[in-house]
Every structure is written in structure tokens, then in C-alpha cells.
Structure 1
């Protein structure tokens, strides 16, 4: 009986271990998206004790959405729809469709919302991260045709010294330091370049004194859509592309993983990446869903490949962490 019991335990252990390994290698059961429905190009941010997502509203061929929504969360897992924060036909005099790829930054006690509208880049201002946002210029911040490529996909990075930089462009990457008012800049100071493989969706963050420039490669309708990165000692570059790329790409049932943003949990060296993938099932480049995954680094500061099958566990922003970031 004892012999049989040992064999049984060994057999059960092998079966259990094999099942666990099978679960680990299963690329058919992707985690649920962060947001319900179809949303793409998510910009993720943290203000005070909440996380926020600012996506493109998806689901129309040609990406013809006309407004932007905001979503908030206390834990990165449960998200609340804060409603429409900018409606192009109502709130703008110069564009009424193709509301794409927003980003947000805070400075001077205000929140500045940067977005694409009819292939121009606009800026709107609010007193709260949930809006409502108002157009302070009555015209694009960067008009179509101003530079090489499409004037879309804005992102703003505010450095430790308070200086703010605008990154934007499809086909080419453009960088310019914003003026103190956050709604103007010197056109003669724009730096333009094209990293190898660059297509669109630039995003910048800083970790341990190093600047990371990330971007999407291929076309968003291509299942190979993915994210690569480069580093620099300056927010204006030059940026050197990392040897290990891409750091985010699809696998198995996950297709077209890209157009991302990154958030750091205040007070911790803990990072998360928000991005879109083709809707599962039956998605494509016009029907995409927003996802979040953990993002990690090795001891040398190199970004590690993101596991698009790793689910996010609830995360809290502590008061101590908030104060540490100030």
C-alpha cells in the first residue's frame, strides 16, 4: 500500500507539474482587456492616488471617432468610465473627426491634454484630469504639413526640472521643448529624426537618469505591430536603439500589440505598460482593445520583453509613495 501511495503521489505530481507547464505555455487564453469594448492607443498616467487611461475610441473603419473618453482606477484592474472629456464637433472650431492617440501631462496646477484631430495635433486644458477640457488656441498646436510625415500621436514628457518636451509624428519622430505655458513652442527648435524601424506612437520616460524613447513599428493593421525602444542621456537625444527589440509584440492569440504608454507606481520602481491588441476574438486594425501588462528591467537598465499573457494584479498608490514623488 505504501509503495502504491508513493507511486500515486509521484504520478499526481508529474500530472500537476505538466498541467502547470501547459498553462504557462498556453498562448490561446489571453488575459481580458483592461477596458470593455474597443479602445486603442491608450495613454496611461497616475495623478494623486488614481490611475487614468486616455484611449482612442475604436470600431470604425478609417478610425473616424469624434470624441475622447477618460477612465479612472484605484488599482489598475477595475476601471470607471469618466465619460467624454473632449468632443471634437462641439469643442473645436477646426476639426470634427479622427480623434486619435491622446496624451496628458500636468504642470502649473493644470492638466494639458494633447491629441490628434483630422491629422493635426491639438492641445486642451482642464483643472482636473477628468476634464472637461477646453481648447485654448482655437487652432492646432501642430498643423498638418508642418513637418515631414503625419502630424499625429503626440506625447509630452515633463522632466525633473519642470521642462516639458513634445514628441510626435508618424513616419518621422519630432521633438521640441514646449514653452512654459505648455501650449506653444519655437518651430525653429524642432529636432527631427527617424530611428530604425520607427513608424509612430513615440513615448518617453526617465528611469535612473536615463531617457527611454519607445515607438511602434509596422502598421497598426499589421499583426506584426510591435514596440521597440532606444536610450539617451538627454530628452532631445541622440537616442541609441537597444540591441534587444522589440520589447512588446504579439504571440499566439495576441495580434498587433503596440501603440503603448508607460506608468510608474509612485514611490516604487514598479512599472506597467498599456497598449492595444486586435480584439479577441475577431479583431483587426480597426477593432482593437486596451490591455495592461507588467514591465520590468534587468540590472543594467535594459527593458525585458513584456509577457502579454501575464495578468495585472491590483496595485495601490500609497500616500507615502505620492509624497516620495514630489
Structure 2
């Protein structure tokens, strides 16, 4: 792609950002992102592509950014290889991860595709100290390469997962800078990957950059947008699917892509915050350069069988809403006493599990001229939906008295709005619900 086209594309992104939040931090090369929630703040630990002019991977340091809402991001610190055991300028500062234990924070980093180091700090952003003075994972401890690690906490214990093609796992000691056991290979049944779409490539069955998360008692081992599931952290894992598919992409976000297609290069992590799940991952659709990547965030929803639904790849991102468009109820930023349920339309809806359950949608824009709120609901009993400002105890803006459905199917109900500003944080508080009496699928504001 020519530089003139790339510069034009980047200029257009400036205008799109008025109602967009993907990339989370545009045009800076933030990539290989892992998000952790510390003290109710999101921290992204990431690699850093140097320049839009890169024609190969040039990554000279590691970054940490933070956000209170997944929308507004602030650069907090930089880890330079000179301040680690590497001890010199280095252009292969690859993927990272972080963890917290016993009052200390641990920032793990890849020395290219060979070894893994770790630094220690008193805050999520450092300052950092390399207390070991040598790699935690040296290049000869397993048959794979000891890089692109993930650190996973389960019941107070921490584990490190790493490798390419074949993945290995080992429990960490309480000091978080040494292994409690020899690394063990993780078995994956019927794996797939960007180089192995049909299961025939035995030499490159998966990818690099493994990650582990846990949902509803199940363990999820992912490599980019591919994932497998298990009842046991150490496996074996059964390959399931990809969370990105051709139908994922909004217009303008499906190309350009990697040489092996849109499933390649989606390094990232899955995380939970305020009862909502997310996937943060690499994307090159807005830079046009595989060597200068962005980070995107999408909502993640789980099916009844535990599998993850296909995500949406777009510029809207998360925690950010446009009142001129229909808003999916399950795409909230925060919720209490709310269940996500699969619906008859092939998607997901919200079901309050208790009276006064609530959802919060911050950063809702273009509200000032909206006089009608349309809800798409099933109500087997008459109920109320209070629309409040910011939180469940916030100012009451208006109330929707939802009548009982005459048939059990989603019906559109309209209500007069009140007290809306141009941009506002809205809290939906569900009143008068009994058992499974109320389901909200989506809502839309109208003039």
C-alpha cells in the first residue's frame, strides 16, 4: 500500500473518531495487548510498533496505558530493554503480560521469540525493577520457544503459559519470579490456526501468543481469535472455533489484512469487568501496514453451551454509544443482577435476575433531540424501567411503564423521554420483575 494512501486513511480516521473508539489509541502502534483490571481501572500492557513506515517488526520498548472506562486512554509508563537484563537497545520487544500478588505487580516481557523476563513494581505502572537480572523462562527449558507468555490466576495461584505451535504451562511460585514445577505440554484436540485451516498442517497447528481465561467453570485456551475449551487448566483442550468470522466486519474494517487472511495476527486477550466480557486484539485495517498495528476491543457473549459467539469488528468499540443507532441491550458497560440469555433471533438479550437489577450505558451521544425511547421487549408481567443518570441512585430522568405482552414474542414499546442532555451516562433500573418475567433485547432513541 502506498504511503499517500496510508496517510489519507489515517487522516480520515481523525474524523471517524467523533463516534468511534476502535482503535483504542489510534496511529501509535500499540499492539499485542493484554488488559488487566487493577483497582477498578483498566491497564493495557502492550508491545509497540515503532513507525507507520516500518517494513518489518521494529519494537523498541513496552508500553502501559490506563483507562477508567475503556474509552479514554492515558499513556502511563514505558519499559525500556536497557532497564532489564537485556541491558541494551533492542528492536524485538515482543508480547507482554502482567499480574498482581501480595502487594506487588509483575510485568512479564518477551525477548523476541526466544526468552521471557519479568520486572517487579509497587504499582500497576511501575517504576519497574529487574530483580532477577536474567530470564525467567530461558530458551532451553522446553522444545518450543519461551516467549509470548500469558499469566493466569486461578484460586489464588498463578500459572504461566507460553510457546508457539505447542504450548506449555507451569505453576509459578509465590514469589512470581520462579517456577514451582517443570513446564508441561498442553494437549489440544483437533487444533486449527491461521496456517492450519483444515487441520492438515501438523508442523504449524496453532500459532504463537497463547492466552487462558476462565468462564463459568470452563477454561479457555486461545491463540489469537482461535480457542479451545477444557474442564482442566492443564488440559486436554478441545478446539471449538474462532470468535472472528467473515460476518464480523463492519464496512471499512475487513481489509487490508494479513497474508494468511483476517484470522491471522489477532494477538490479544479476553477479560471481564463489571460483569461484561471483552476481547482486545490486534488489527491493521486502519493503518494498512502489518508492521504497524492497532488494538481493538469488542464485546464477548457466551452461548448456553459455553462457546463464544462471533464478535463484531467495527469502529464503535465498547463503552461508547450513538443514540442515532439501535443499541443492543447486552452491550452494557456495567450490570448487577442481570443475566445474558440467548434469544430466538439468534443473538442475546438481557433478563433481570432480581428486582432493581440494572445496566449502565455511559457516553451515549446525540441525545438532546430525542423525544422517544423504543424498547424491544418480552414482558410476561407488567413492569417498569427507570432511566436514571449515571447509576441506580442517580437522578430519575423518566420512567417506562411496560405493559404485559399479549403474545410471547419480542414487541416494540415506545415511551416519552425527558431530561436528556446531548451526551449522558444512562442507567436502566428494572422494577417489578418476577422470575423470568422481563427480557430486553435492544433499544433505540427517536426524534
TM-score range, shorter chain: 0.7 to 0.9
Residue number among 52, 56, 66 corresponding to 2:47 in the alignment: 56
CA displacement at 1:93 relative to structure 2: 4.2
Per-residue CA deviation, residues 169-228 of structure 1 (Å, 9 max, x unaligned), is: 122111111111111114534334466231111111111111111113xxxxxxxxxx11
Alignment size in residue pairs: 275
Per-residue CA deviation, residues 221-268 of structure 1 (Å, 9 max, x unaligned), is: xxxxxx1111111211111111xx2112564236346101111014x2
For structure 2, the 5+ residue unaligned runs are: 1-18, 193-205, 321-331, 338-447
> Quick check: 1:96–1:117 contact (8 Å CA) kept in 2?
no
Please say if 1:207 is aligned against 2:215: yes
Instruction: State the match for 2:141 in structure 1.
Output: 146
Instruction: State the match for 1:223 in structure 2.
Output: none
Please say if 1:311 is aligned against 2:317: yes
The normalised TM-score by structure 2 is 0.57
SS of alignment partner, residue 170 of structure 1: coil
Please say if 1:111 is aligned against 2:111: no
Matches within 5 A, 1:292-311: 292-309=297-314, 311=317
SS of alignment partner, residue 37 of structure 2: strand
- With over 3 angstroms needed to count, the CA separation of the structure-2 counterparts of 1:47 and 1:317, relative to structure 1, is farther
> Quick check: 2:43–2:66 contact (8 Å CA) kept in 1?
yes
Instruction: State the match for 1:240 in structure 2.
Output: 238
SS of alignment partner, residue 188 of structure 1: coil
SS of alignment partner, residue 164 of structure 1: strand
SS of alignment partner, residue 290 of structure 1: strand
Residue number among 184, 204, 213 corresponding to 2:178 in the alignment: 184
For structure 1, the 5+ residue unaligned runs are: 1-28, 217-226, 321-326
> Quick check: 2:83–2:129 contact (8 Å CA) kept in 1?
no
- With over 3 angstroms needed to count, the CA separation of the structure-2 counterparts of 1:249 and 1:123, relative to structure 1, is farther
Instruction: State the match for 2:286 in structure 1.
Output: 280
Instruction: State the match for 1:90 in structure 2.
Output: 83
CA displacement at 1:32 relative to structure 2: 3.2
Per-residue CA deviation, residues 268-300 of structure 1 (Å, 9 max, x unaligned), is: 2x101100111514222x111111111111122
Q: Distance in 2 between matches of 1:317 and 1:67?
A: 33
Instruction: State the match for 1:11 in structure 2.
Output: none
Q: Distance in 2 between matches of 1:263 and 1:155?
A: 12
Relative contact order: is structure 1 or structure 2 higher (C-alpha 8 Å, sep ≥ 6)?
A: 1
> Quick check: 1:94–1:139 contact (8 Å CA) kept in 2?
no
> Quick check: 2:77–2:126 contact (8 Å CA) kept in 1?
no
CA RMSD, aligned part only?
2.5
Instruction: State the match for 2:165 in structure 1.
Output: 171
> Quick check: 2:188–2:237 contact (8 Å CA) kept in 1?
no
SS of alignment partner, residue 267 of structure 2: strand
Q: Distance in 2 between matches of 1:68 and 1:122?
A: 12
Bigger share in helix:
1
Q: Distance in 1 between matches of 2:21 and 2:72?
A: 14
Q: Distance in 2 between matches of 1:163 and 1:90?
A: 28
Instruction: State the match for 1:24 in structure 2.
Output: none
